A and B are shown apart, each in its own frame.
Chain A
Amino acid sequence: MRSEELRVAALAAAVIVFTSGTALAQKKYDAGATDTEIKIGNIMPYSGPASAYGVIGKTEQAYFNKVNAEGGINGRKINFVSYDDGYSPPKAVEQARKLVESDEVLLVFNPLGTPSNSAIQKYLNAKKVPQLFVATGATKWNDPKNFPWTMGWQPSYQSEAHIYAKYLLKEKPDGKIAILFQNDDFGKDYLKGLKDALGAKASMIAAEESYEATEPSVDNHIVRLKASGADVFISITTPKFAAQAIKKLAEIDWKPLHIVSNVSISVGGVIKPAGFENAQGMLSAAYAKDGADPQWDNDPGMKKFYAFLAKYYPDANKLDASVVYGYGAAQTMVKVLEMCGDNLTRDNVMKQAASLKDFAPDTLLPGIKINTSATDFAPIKQLQMMRFKGEKWDLFGDIISGELSE
């Protein structure tokens, strides 16, 4: 009897020692993470007015397939749950709640669109679910104090605008600037960035015209801007209107220094239709490599990218900047999950996402690196200026940071 008691006691002690031993190995999980799987949520406009961006979600799925095929992250497979919101904010809220409450994902990665992300930001922050690397260029995502669970990825429209302003202040300090901008969050964010960076020299802006995305053409705006006598033209436009502007400038024989926003730098989608001869000397800025540009054919990063496309996403159009985008964003996500190790809590995911140091995804321009900190939730802040020459963009100058404090 007595020996039996002893044995039980010994066994109990052994069990305690054993279990505390495994506790020391520090495997910590929140909903969505297990020994074998990490569940990641995503919301994309696969249908509706912005469905062209759905390619980003498909590329990310393909990239996670590749990671899984190569053994996963620390032995765990990524389960990528991506839903369609049709670019409608109420639908985005429904899908975000489905991801968090029904699918129980660890985090929501790269949801697309400023309206959709605005709609789900408060909910995800209240639930303390990471809203990581949102696919929009609005500046407001870098706000760790009020929204510690939300982080952007690409350079914000404002930081891009700062770069143009810096360039103009240096190269054309006596210029008169005419601005054409789209009357929405994108255009207004940009305009604010320009004015902030010009600061005391904001009087350089001679004229500004806004257009609605539903207008058939921006021709008459451009005629009015020419009349202001400006010698710098900044085109804060989406692809269709950027192409119209390039054409119209040539038609009315107005030859200002032409700067076009990064969203409309596609050679195939904007410049070719507008005519190469009309776009010579045009300026812009970039942070990612162009999948269609032969100068990257021997670049080790892009070689990996092309190999990935060939094997995991053969029907992708490599001319589409969204494919390059999705690849870079997914790679950043994988990097953060690798850094998390076995501590896959939402808290730790945010902590690791906020401690990226000089991380360079394969598809970013050489020299551009991702850096984040507890007070800096804007992963990509640098761009490089480029000039259109012949049939492609030529990068020039240094990598410039879009931060104003410098």
Chain B
Amino acid sequence: MSAAIEDVVTESPGVIEAVPKRAMTLGTGTSLVMLGLLLLTPLFVKNFIIFQMTMLLIYGVAVLALNILTGGSGQFSLGQSAFYAVGAYTSAILMEHAGMNYALTLPIAGIICFAFGFLFGQPALRLSGVYLALATFALATAMPQLLKLGYFEQWTGGVQGLVVTKPDPPEAVQSMLSWLHLKMSQDMWLYYFTLVITIAIYIFSVNLLRSRSGRAFMAIRDNEIAASAMGVDVALYKTLAFGVSAGITGVAGGLGAITVQFVAPDSYTITLAISLFLGMVVGGVGWLPGSIVGSAFIIFVPNIAEGISKGLSGAVFGVLLFLVIFLVPHGARQVAIVGQQLIGRFRKN
């Protein structure tokens, strides 16, 4: 046993700062306000905004998954787009070829991605820090090409991709609303459907990190040697973190496929993986509520950059990103902490 552990114990890169587990979540009051906003806003905005909010939640879930991996267990990944793609394709193929209900495809996408992530975690165990990042990077670059392979083409649709049918709100909801003379659009239904799943995943993640397993993840993140000395099975928990992260990313991918109504290899390139990584850093590594802030950053800031200059949108985006990293290196978490202190001081006065 000791030999096996020695193999997998690697020097901690020391890049990720230890985040105490209390600091990983929001207070009850703030959570309720957030929830209220997420519940009520769609009633007053256009379908297009609802669609953007749905994407915000979906990318938020994907960033959260990466946050569990990096913020929780201290492992880097630039390969989340691959898991996202597998989830998206699983949902799309099950819906379009097997005629399965969209809601049922999500747990399947999650399980397949969990298995995929767990298996990928095995060889990746021997790597740490930048080497692990590079190995996952390879996964992300390989994925679009694997999806194009002629061998799978009858299911994946090859380069042409697959068009997914958008689900209608279920009959029960429709008839209940018709009592109140209301009608629910597909977009709104999908938003609330996504919101329920997002909240479920968020609660699961918070509890996971507060549990024994979560403590094991964090012990590994902070000091692998100490963790293994305390009897934490480093190999198991490292691969488990990979599996959970991949599984959640897969669910996000499935939701993304249903919302966008289309999957194609070009949707899941390395750019997506880097965006998710970016979202995590901007939101604050290891701070779960920051995931939604990070997700907002990767969805809206490119649009803002484009609004400022069409030709130089990439450069403007770069400048904005640089400013964020320079001014608030710990991302949204830092802003939240400063905000909290200000409110505290205000109350004392």
Shortest distance from the beta carbon of A155 to any chain B beta carbon, whole Å: 20
Say if the beta carbon of A185 comes within 8 Å of chain B: yes
Q: Which of chain B's residues 128-175 have a Cβ closer than 8 Å to chain A?
A: 145, 148, 150, 158-161, 163
Shortest distance from the beta carbon of B263 to any chain A beta carbon, whole Å: 8
Q: Which of chain A's residues 179-204 have a Cβ closer than 8 Å to chain B?
A: 183-185, 188
Complex Cα spacing A82 to B55, Å: 21
Q: Which of chain B's residues 284-306 have a Cβ closer than 8 Å to chain A?
A: 299, 302, 306
- Contact between B148 and A46, CB atoms less than 8 A apart: no
Contact of A183 among B51, B148, B262, B266 (CB under 8 A): B148
Contacts of A47 in B (CB 8 A): 313-314
Say if the beta carbon of A164 comes within 8 Å of chain B: no
Q: Which of chain B's residues 24-74 have a Cβ closer than 8 Å to chain A?
A: 46-49, 51-52, 55
- Contact between B51 and A84, CB atoms less than 8 A apart: no
Contact of B260 among A54, A82, A90, A214 (CB under 8 A): A90
Q: A48-B271, A185-B159, A212-B145 are in contact. Are A84 and B306 (CB under 8 A)?
A: yes
- Contact between A118 and B271, CB atoms less than 8 A apart: no
- Contact between B51 and A97, CB atoms less than 8 A apart: yes
Complex Cα spacing A123 to B186, Å: 12
- Contact between B55 and A94, CB atoms less than 8 A apart: yes
Contacts of A333 in B (CB 8 A): none
- Contact between B159 and A188, CB atoms less than 8 A apart: yes
Contact of A82 among B161, B266, B272, B310 (CB under 8 A): B310
- Contact between A93 and B261, CB atoms less than 8 A apart: yes
Greatest chain A CB density within 10 A among B55, B260, B266 is at B266
Say if the beta carbon of A89 comes within 8 Å of chain B: yes
Shortest distance from the beta carbon of A156 to any chain B beta carbon, whole Å: 14
Shortest distance from the beta carbon of B131 to any chain A beta carbon, whole Å: 23
- Contact between A122 and B261, CB atoms less than 8 A apart: yes
- Contact between A84 and B271, CB atoms less than 8 A apart: no
Contacts of A100 in B (CB 8 A): 48
- Contact between B313 and A46, CB atoms less than 8 A apart: yes
Contacts of B266 in A (CB 8 A): 87-89, 115
B49 nearest CB neighbor, chain A only: A102
- Contact between B48 and A97, CB atoms less than 8 A apart: yes
- Contact between B159 and A93, CB atoms less than 8 A apart: no
- Contact between B271 and A86, CB atoms less than 8 A apart: yes
Say if the beta carbon of A98 comes within 8 Å of chain B: yes
Number of interface residues of B (CB under 8 A): 32
Q: Which of chain A's residues 25-69 have a Cβ closer than 8 Å to chain B?
A: 46-48, 54, 58
- Contact between A118 and B264, CB atoms less than 8 A apart: yes
- Contact between B261 and A123, CB atoms less than 8 A apart: yes
Contacts of B47 in A (CB 8 A): 97, 101
Complex Cα spacing A183 to B49, Å: 37
- Contact between A118 and B306, CB atoms less than 8 A apart: no
- Contact between A118 and B46, CB atoms less than 8 A apart: no
Interface residues on A, range: 20 to 34
Q: A46-B306, A94-B55 are in contact. Are A184 and B314 (CB under 8 A)?
A: no
Shortest distance from the beta carbon of A187 to any chain B beta carbon, whole Å: 9
A214 nearest CB neighbor, chain B only: B145
Contacts of A83 in B (CB 8 A): 306
Shortest distance from the beta carbon of B265 to any chain A beta carbon, whole Å: 8
Q: A82-B310, A90-B256, A184-B159 are in contact. Are A115 and B264 (CB under 8 A)?
A: yes
B88 nearest CB neighbor, chain A only: A90
Contacts of A225 in B (CB 8 A): none
Contacts of A119 in B (CB 8 A): 161, 260-262, 264, 267
Contact of B310 among A46, A90, A97, A118 (CB under 8 A): A46
Complex Cα spacing A98 to B302, Å: 14
Say if the beta carbon of B311 comes within 8 Å of chain A: yes
Contact of A84 among B55, B148, B163, B313 (CB under 8 A): B313
A113 nearest CB neighbor, chain B only: B266
Contact of B160 among A84, A87, A101, A118 (CB under 8 A): A118
Contacts of A94 in B (CB 8 A): 51-52, 55, 299
Complex Cα spacing A46 to B313, Å: 8
- Contact between A89 and B163, CB atoms less than 8 A apart: no
A115-141 vs B, CB cutoff 8 Å, 1 = contact: the mask equals 100110111000000000000000000
Q: Which of chain A's residues 330-379 have a Cβ closer than 8 Å to chain B?
A: none
Shortest distance from the beta carbon of B68 to any chain A beta carbon, whole Å: 23
A96-110 vs B, CB cutoff 8 Å, 1 = contact: the mask equals 011011100000000
Shortest distance from the beta carbon of A88 to any chain B beta carbon, whole Å: 6
Complex Cα spacing A47 to B311, Å: 8
Complex Cα spacing A47 to B271, Å: 12
Q: What residues make up the interface of A, taking CB atoms closer than 8 Å to B? A: 46-48, 54, 58, 82-84, 86-90, 93-94, 97-98, 100-102, 114-115, 118-119, 121-123, 183-185, 188, 212, 214
Given contacts A58-B311, A98-B48, 5 further A-B contacts (CB under 8 A): A114-B160, A118-B262, A119-B262, A119-B267, A183-B150
Can you list 9 A-B contacts with CB-CB less than 8 angstroms, sorted by A residue number? A84-B302, A93-B261, A115-B266, A118-B264, A119-B261, A184-B148, A184-B159, A185-B159, A214-B145
6 A-B pairs with the lowest CB-CB distances in the bound complex, closest first: A101-B48, A119-B262, A185-B159, A115-B266, A89-B267, A90-B260
Q: What residues make up the interface of B, taking CB atoms closer than 8 Å to A? A: 46-49, 51-52, 55, 145, 148, 150, 158-161, 163, 256, 260-262, 264, 266-267, 269, 271-272, 299, 302, 306, 310-311, 313-314
